[in-house]
Structure 1
Amino acid sequence: MRLAVYNVENLFDRAKAMNLGSWEEGRPVLDRFAALNGLLGQVSYGGGDRAKMATLMIELGLEKSDTGPFVLLRRNRGGLLKRPKTGGIEITAGGRADWVGSLELRDEPINEHAMRNTARVMSDLGADVLGVVEAESRPVLSAFNREILSAIGGAPFRHVMVIDGNDERGIDVGLMSREGYPIGAMRSHVDDLLPNGEPVFSRDCPEFEITTPGGARLVVMVNHLKSKGYGGKAASDARRKAQARRIAEIYEGLIGQGVEYIAVIGDLNDTPGSAPLKPLIENTDLTDIFEHVAFDDGGYPGTYGSCTAANKIDYILLSPALYAKVVAGGIFRKGMWPGVRPKKWNVYDELKRPEEAGSDHAALWVDLDI
């Protein structure tokens, strides 16, 4: 069977702030969005909190309207703010219970060529089981599977599953599988908590049990760990390390239950030798597919952007019994922008500009004799 993983970076719609020319351009918006959401969620609003909320709202373009260029403030009931005729914003609520609503990122459609190139990658991988990172929802992934894969001549997957995670931006993780590879028992970890009461996982760490046509059973854990570029470095590293530690605990629990075939796959947002990933990569017996003699990295050690070693952030980690079943593995980069001086790898004919890339991430695959 072929197991693969691909960070699709959304399928139909993507937050406008994440669709700018570069991550550096969108990061200030996302940081302000996160800070304001955190303040709005507090039980009570102090004077300093209200002043900071007003400042952030103005910076997000909400001074004149609840609709800004990148965010949308939904106020369903209660009183949150006033907009004086003289300008500015005055927060009138005393706490979260005083109003009903939400702060949301505004979406915009994905470039049509990018959408089709994403579908081409998903089809051309030839995967029997495909882990998907950054899918908007199960209905969206299911519609993409039925409509867009068919439109480019691909065969839709038989099974599609996404469990809603903790990310408000609509970037969840899921699994797709072919006929003969049914998705059986599933377990979500969205409610796993840190000591401070916050969720461990930015999205989720779902466990999907797959049965192969030959009767073998494996558990696939799909992940998307905390990004380096969303919040301060120390806090991001600490969160990612806590997530890696929890994945390791879940993995060890499965091994203790007698499960032999386990794969941890996805975008871990850090490099193999990083301190945050140490609990998972160094402190367990999971092995990165990149280390296998039959793995072909295509001449580049990374999986994201320019694919340098510093951009090796996507993974297929296998338990010892599953690693022993590896026949081949590799990286699929035809849907990534290859650069121009020089062009690093071959791409689809339809990929002529960076914005037409299916994703900034390569897809990874491994063939297993089970």
Structure 2
Amino acid sequence: MRLAVYNVENLFDRAKAMNLETWAEGRPVLESFAALNSLLGQVNYGDDAKKNMAGLIIKLGLEKSDTGPFVILRRNRGGLLKRPKTGGIEITAAGRADWVGSLELRDAPINEFAMRNTARVMNDLGADVLGVVEAESRPVLSAFNLEIVPAVGGAPFRHVMVIDGNDERGIDVGLMSRDGYPIGAMRSHVDDRLPNGEAVFSRDCPEFEITTAGGARLLVLVNHLKSKGYGGKAASDAKRRAQAERIAVIYAGLLQAGAEYIAVIGDFNDTPDSAPLTPLIAGTSLKDIFLHPAFDNGGYPGTFGACAAANKIDYMLLSPALYARVQAGGVFRKGMWPGVRPRKWDTYDELTRPAEAGSDHGALWVDIDL
């Protein structure tokens, strides 16, 4: 059987702030969005909080209207703010209970060529079981599978599953599988909590049970750990480490319950030697597929962007019993932008500029005798 994982970076729609030409353009928007959301969620709004809220609302382009270039402030009931004729923002609510609504990122369509190249990768991988990172929802992933994959000559997957996670941007994790590889029992960890009550996982750490064509029981845990993209380094590192620690505990529990074949896959947003990932990579018996003698990295140690060692952020970690059954593996980069001086790898003919890339991530695959 072939197991693969691919960060598709959304399928039909993506937050406009994440859909700009460069990450540097969207990062300030996402940072301001996260900061304002955090303040709006506080039980009580003190003077400092109100001042910061007003500044962030203006920064996000909401001074004149609840609809800004990148975000929407939805106010369903109650009073949150006033917009004086003299300008500025006045926060009138005393706390979260005084109003009903939400702050949301605005979406924009994905480039059509990029969409089709994403579908080509999903098809050309030839995976029997495919972990998907950054899918908007199950209905969206299902529609993409049934409409776009066949449009580029591919065969749709038989089973498609996404469990809605904690991220408000529509970047969840899921699983797709072919005939002969049904998805059985599923377990979500979306409600796992840290001691302070905060959710452990930015999205989820779903457990999917697959019965292989040979009758074996495979457990696949798909993950997308905290990004380095916005927020302070110390806070994001701490969050990612807490997530790695929790996955390690979940893995240990599965082993204790008698599971042999376990795969922890996804975008971990950090390198193998990083402190945040230490509990998972060095602290468990899981083995990184990149270290297997049958694995071919295509001449590049990374999985993201230019694929340097510092960009090795996508993973397939396998339990010892599963690792022992590996026959081959590699990184599929044909849907990634290859650079121009020189082009680093072969790509689809339809990929002529960065915006047409199926993803900034390579897809990982592994053939297992199972």
TM-score bracket for this pair, using the shorter chain length: over 0.9
Q: 1:326 Cα shift? A: 0.1
Q: 2: distance between equivalents of 1:230 and 1:148? A: 32
Q: 1: distance between equivalents of 2:116 and 2:295? A: 27
Cα-to-partner distance string for 1:130-185 (whole Å, 9 max, x where unaligned): 00000000000000000000111100000000000000000000000000100000
1:204 match? 204
Counterpart residue identity of residue 57, structure 1: I
Q: 2: distance between equivalents of 1:73 and 1:340? A: 41
Matched, 1:237 2:237: yes
Count of aligned pairs between the two proteins: 370
Give percent identity, aligned residues only: 82
Q: 1:3 Cα shift? A: 0.1
Q: 2: distance between equivalents of 1:357 and 1:21? A: 12
Counterpart residue identity of residue 134, structure 1: E
Deviates more, 1:233-242 or 1:22-31: 22-31
1:113 is paired with a residue whose SS is helix
Q: 2: distance between equivalents of 1:196 and 1:43? A: 15
Cα-to-partner distance string for 1:29-57 (whole Å, 9 max, x where unaligned): 00000000000011111111111100000
Q: 2: distance between equivalents of 1:24 and 1:184? A: 41
**Structure 1 consecutive aligned stretches of length 4 or more whose deviation exceeds 3 Å:** none
Q: 1:210 Cα shift? A: 0.2
1:334 is paired with a residue whose SS is coil
2:296 match? 296
Counterpart residue identity of residue 13, structure 1: D
Q: 1:214 Cα shift? A: 1.1
2:315 match? 315
Q: 2: distance between equivalents of 1:121 and 1:287? A: 25
Counterpart residue identity of residue 224, structure 1: H
Q: 1:20 Cα shift? A: 1.1
Q: How does 1:137-152 map to 2 (within 5 A)?
A: 137-152=137-152
Q: How does 1:262-281 map to 2 (within 5 A)?
A: 262-281=262-281
Q: 1: distance between equivalents of 2:65 and 2:11? A: 29
2:332 match? 332
TM-score scaled by structure 2? 1.00
1:19 match? 19
1:284 match? 284
Counterpart residue identity of residue 130, structure 2: L
Q: Please list every run of 5 or more consecutive structure 1 residues that lacks an aligned counterpart in the other structure.
A: none
Deviates more, 1:15-24 or 1:307-316: 15-24
Q: 1: distance between equivalents of 2:236 and 2:47? A: 28
RMSD: 0.4
Q: 2: distance between equivalents of 1:173 and 1:342? A: 34
Q: 1:323 Cα shift? A: 0.3
Q: 2: distance between equivalents of 1:227 and 1:24? A: 14
Q: 2: distance between equivalents of 1:116 and 1:76? A: 38
TM-score scaled by structure 1? 1.00
1:30 is paired with a residue whose SS is helix
Q: 2: distance between equivalents of 1:262 and 1:339? A: 35
Matched, 1:48 2:60: no
Q: 1:253 Cα shift? A: 0.3
Cα-to-partner distance string for 1:254-284 (whole Å, 9 max, x where unaligned): 0000100000000000000000000000010
Q: 1: distance between equivalents of 2:40 and 2:316? A: 38
Deviates more, 1:43-52 or 1:216-225: 43-52
Q: 2: distance between equivalents of 1:80 and 1:348? A: 50
Q: 1:24 Cα shift? A: 1.5
Q: 1:98 Cα shift? A: 0.7
Q: How does 1:357-368 map to 2 (within 5 A)?
A: 357-368=357-368
Matched, 1:162 2:165: no
Q: 2: distance between equivalents of 1:229 and 1:40? A: 21
Q: 2: distance between equivalents of 1:220 and 1:230? A: 28
Counterpart residue identity of residue 72, structure 2: L
Matched, 1:253 2:253: yes
1:97 match? 97
1:133 match? 133
Counterpart residue identity of residue 35, structure 1: A
1:106 match? 106
Counterpart residue identity of residue 323, structure 2: Y
Cα-to-partner distance string for 1:102-134 (whole Å, 9 max, x where unaligned): 000000000000000000000000000000000
Q: 1:58 Cα shift? A: 0.1
Q: 1: distance between equivalents of 2:143 and 2:41? A: 33
Counterpart residue identity of residue 173, structure 1: V
